[in-house]
Amino acid sequence: MPSSAPPVFRFAPSPNGALHLGHAYSALVNQQICAAIDGTCLLRLEDIDQTRCTPELAQQMLDDLTWLGIDWHGEPRRQSEHFADYRRALQKLRADGLIYPAFMSRGDIRRMLAQEVDASPDENWPRDPDGSPHYPGDERNWSLDQQQAMLSKNQKHSWRLNMAAALQLVPDQLYWREFEESDPAQSRNIPAKPELWGDVVLARSDTPTSYHLAVTVDDALQEVTHVVRGRDLYHATSVHRLLQVLLDLPAPRYHHHDLVIGPDGRKLSKSNGDVSLRALRRNGVDPANIAQHFTFAA
Ligand code: GLU
């Protein structure tokens, strides 16, 4: 991305529950940095999970953001309306031989890992930064004919990135650029470590994309130059950087901000009604004073 490109930010919540103080903080940091460098802020609804993301929750989310005084440019992009874009990206990866259909269910994976642990109790099975085990199946080594034979049986599956094959195609060390809120014009290289994730899921038989694929494709299609999001997504950026290279997409800069926690010191969740923006609104909190409610993780 040429540095002369006009700054474009995006706030990208998932309407699968009520927005809480953590979302408010993220939206406000986006808005503040964006205003400071004369950028444009977009809104994206990450609603690929069509069972949990409902139109009612999406509307409530828009109402909460309006109450908070968050403005965005143009119509929000709803990921559920753009599945063709993600399919296209997936097809490119498939044509390049970088993804494979994986047929083991979560239960199959659990059982297989239990056997592995019984067989070699001293060896830790590798886990990704979110704590999920790396995929233990061997479909990545199957021939295209074998894959096709299973696919034609209409078995449920996910499409996984063949991480080892992908790493062959990129420079030995990939970096992303990280900037700080106080000085968005400066940024530094952070080494990306996509290998920590193993063969990540990029799509499922019933949903043509995963979070990682959709976020990477959309940041490029929306010409986002500055991604501002919580530190909980810091490690995910390694996967996004890898996908940008594999898909020939430009790389935005990133700022991973501190995480807001609850008054009880625990992580905020969408099921915790007390910290929802809707509850604060009902309790008469003035949105101009919302910052008084932020508590940060140490
Ligand atoms: N949709 C994600 C979430 O609500 C955020 C994605 C992103 O900012 O990259 O956690």
Percent of the chain with pLDDT over 90: 89
The minimum-distance atom of ligand 1 relative to the CA of 230 is: 8
Residue nearest atom 10 of ligand 1, based on CA coordinates:
13
pLDDT of residue 106: 92
What is the radius of gyration, based on Cα positions, of the chain? 20
The minimum-distance atom of ligand 1 relative to the CA of 240 is: 9
198-240 per-position pLDDT tens digit: 999 999 999 999 999 999 999 999 999 999 999 999 999 999 9
Residue nearest atom 7 of ligand 1, based on CA coordinates:
12
77-124 per-position pLDDT tens digit: 999 999 999 999 999 999 999 999 999 999 999 999 999 878 887 778
Give the distance (Å) from ligand 1 centre to CA of residue 42: 13
Place of tokens 């790396």: 134
Give the distance (Å) from ligand 1 centre to CA of residue 225: 16
230-279 per-position pLDDT tens digit: 999 999 999 999 999 999 999 999 999 999 988 788 888 777 767 899 99
C-beta 14 within 6 A of ligand 1: yes
| Tokens representing residue 295 in the block | 């508590």
Q: Which helix (H) or strand (E) holds 32?
A: helix 21-36
pLDDT of residue 122: 74
31-79 per-position pLDDT tens digit: 999 999 999 999 999 999 999 999 999 999 999 999 999 999 999 999 9
pTM beyond 0.75:
yes
pLDDT of residue 3: 55
Give the distance (Å) from ligand 1 centre to CA of residue 170: 26
The minimum-distance atom of ligand 1 relative to the CA of 232 is: 10
Q: List, in order, residues 6 or more apart from 200 with CB less than 8 Å away.
A: 128, 160, 161, 163, 210, 212, 239
The minimum-distance atom of ligand 1 relative to the CA of 219 is: 9
